[in-house]
Chain A
């Protein structure tokens, strides 16, 4: 488990996939010899929430406790994550797919894969937009007022959980299909790059969903003054 007294450089060295997560806190390489605690102080980051988020991404065996993560920190983190998906990951995968198609013009399977992905991208973007424009503002409002909207509770929690599962499954289906049916003649380095990126994104989405399902939703349920165990 990652602890406050560890040097951040060691943590990054052991799991390089944490870099994009750290970027969302405006932490970039060039971290020197500083410990996690001192970096958090320097950046004005809440230590407990930071550790819970980092540990969740670092190991699937780590189960974040809702009380360890501050709701406002989490919402901001999720927003930064969304921006990362929209501005970087989604276009990058799209580019990698279209590069394959360039190498192998007129390929029907690749055209189908392109259109599947573009449909997927549209769906994930819509989901993110829903959270950004509907859900997060409500949470922020609730955090400010501490007043409940009990009648909307089921609507929000049901909707989020349902959509998430599907978003991850569609991406993992794409990966499975690419592994099985990519035309042999596509450039092997290009297909490697695409599959690496897809796998990484698949894992990211699972971690992302863990936050939303295990922390955001139970906390939201609490704010809405309904019983969290209905959503566990």
Chain B
């Protein structure tokens, strides 16, 4: 999967750090870039397939065209001080208020980055199917080969692999292989 960039464009360090922290913990999404000055707004139009959180005041000040910002399949979300400041024209996918409480922000993020909740204690065991996939990964099989061997779609293989990595907290193929070896899943 292509990793999407997440950009937070806001002058406030509290907003930058706060949003980055919530994004990391709620959606497991790291912020790839912070923009701290309004003069950099025009450069944002060059982003591609990114998720942009931007201060609505900057959009207004720079007369930035939201259609322009969205041109390269970017998703744009506004950060506003109050509800009145939400409508600079153009279209955006959603807005965050400075006064939003944690729960409200998390609910909005869950829509932007839909995903399964993080594994908590007791839910982290691999299913039988996931174990089969893990064994094949450890034997060096590609996703396509795994799909053929198990007669499942490539999409399903990828989703199994994501769940395996999430549950085991292991990110690399070498790490998964070591895990499988130590646990006698492969020899």
- Residues of chain A having any CB pair with chain B under 8 Å: 61, 63, 108-109, 112-113, 116, 119-120, 166, 169-170, 172-174, 176-177, 181, 227, 229-230, 232
Contacts and interface: CB of A to CB of B under 8 A. Distances in A.
A157 to B, nearest CB: 14
Interface of B: 5, 17, 32-34, 43, 46-47, 168-172, 174-176, 178-179, 181-183
A116 B178 contact: yes
A232 B32 contact: yes
A172 B171 contact: yes
B175 A176 contact: yes
Contacts of B33: 232
Contact of A63 (B34, B168, B181): B34
Closest 10 CB pairs of A and B: A173-B175, A169-B171, A232-B33, A109-B182, A173-B170, A116-B178, A169-B172, A112-B181, A170-B172, A181-B182
A173 B174 contact: yes
B138 to A, nearest CB: 11
A108 B187 CA distance: 11
28 contacts: A61-B17, A108-B182, A112-B181, A112-B182, A113-B178, A113-B182, A116-B178, A119-B174, A166-B172, A169-B171, A170-B174, A172-B171, A173-B170, A173-B171, A173-B172, A173-B174, A173-B176, A174-B175, A176-B168, A176-B175, A177-B182, A181-B179, A227-B46, A229-B43, A229-B46, A229-B47, A232-B32, A232-B33
Question: Majority SS of interface residues in chain A?
Answer: helix
Contacts of B174: 116, 119-120, 170, 173
A169 B170 CA distance: 8
Contacts of A108: 182
A230 B33 CA distance: 11
B175 A177 contact: yes
Given A173-B178, A174-B178, 20 more contacts: A112-B181, A113-B182, A116-B178, A169-B172, A170-B175, A173-B170, A173-B171, A173-B174, A173-B175, A173-B176, A176-B168, A176-B169, A176-B175, A177-B179, A177-B182, A181-B183, A229-B46, A230-B46, A232-B5, A232-B33
Nearest to A170: B172
A232 B32 CA distance: 7
A232 B175 CA distance: 28
